[in-house]
Structure 1
Amino acid sequence: MAITGTKTFSHAGEGAWTPMSDGIRRRILLHTDELMMVEFAFDKGGVGALHSHPHVQASYVAEGRFEVTIDGRTEILEAGSCFIVPSNLVHGAKALEAGRLVDSFTPHRADFLA
């Protein structure tokens, strides 16, 4: 079954980076209405401030070490680790060293496409 109007594959290095707060940038890898994959690159000390959103988020630590807080609980995660943030829970991350997170959101983050 073909997927019309949707990018099916993404290759390494594709997509433009969007600067965010100091030390963080993101690029959208792929998305449909139901699902979105986004890569975040952090400089050492970069902070994804505490926030919440209605999307369910699954994150994979592709590189580096992060201090991740979800709903008041904090853990140190390194490359190969992952976490899930249920809808509307307060969460954030701090890069203990330079690194990358690959996040999936459902449904897609329309605010990232605006």
Structure 2
Amino acid sequence: MTDIFSHAGEKAWEPTPDGNRRRMLVHTDELMMVEFAFEKGGVGALHSHPHVQASYVAEGRFEVTIDGRSEILETGGSFIVPSNLVHGVRALEAGRLVDSFAPHRADFLG
């Protein structure tokens, strides 16, 4: 079964291995949308995965590093991570990212 609708506040937050929080919003086999919350100074450690990722800064300011290039993005900014590139973020203030993954991240559904 896939989740194709999500209403504000209905999905539960869960801790991430790097000390932040995430909640899976909607997904099909081809696409997934996940919200991540960071406290000021929170880090999404450098990593890579085969999924293409598109991210939207819903709130806050983040230093975003993709393939060795870093930029500061704030509310309303966005970025895309092609498959298998090393990437990560650091929250310069408390904030939230909304990430989309294609295909879906099966490891987030377990």
Aligned to 1:56, which of 28, 52, 56? 52
State the one-letter code of the partner of 1:52: S
Ranges in structure 2 where 5+ consecutive residues have no aligned partner: none
TM-score calculated relative to the size of structure 2: 0.96
Q: For residue 16 of structure 1, report the CA deviation from its aligned partner.
A: 1.2
Find the aligned partners of 1:51 and 1:66 in 2 and give their Cα distance: 16
Q: For residue 18 of structure 1, report the CA deviation from its aligned partner.
A: 1.0
Aligned to 1:77: 73
Find the aligned partners of 1:87 and 1:73 in 2 and give their Cα distance: 16
- Matched length: 109
Deviation track 1:5-26 (CA, whole Å, cap 9, x = no partner) reads: 432211111111110122x100
Output the aligned Cα RMSD: 0.7
Aligned to 2:85, which of 72, 75, 89? 89
Find the aligned partners of 1:62 and 1:92 in 2 and give their Cα distance: 17
Q: Once the two structures are aligned, what percentage of the paired residues are identical? A: 82
Ranges in structure 1 where 5+ consecutive residues have no aligned partner: none
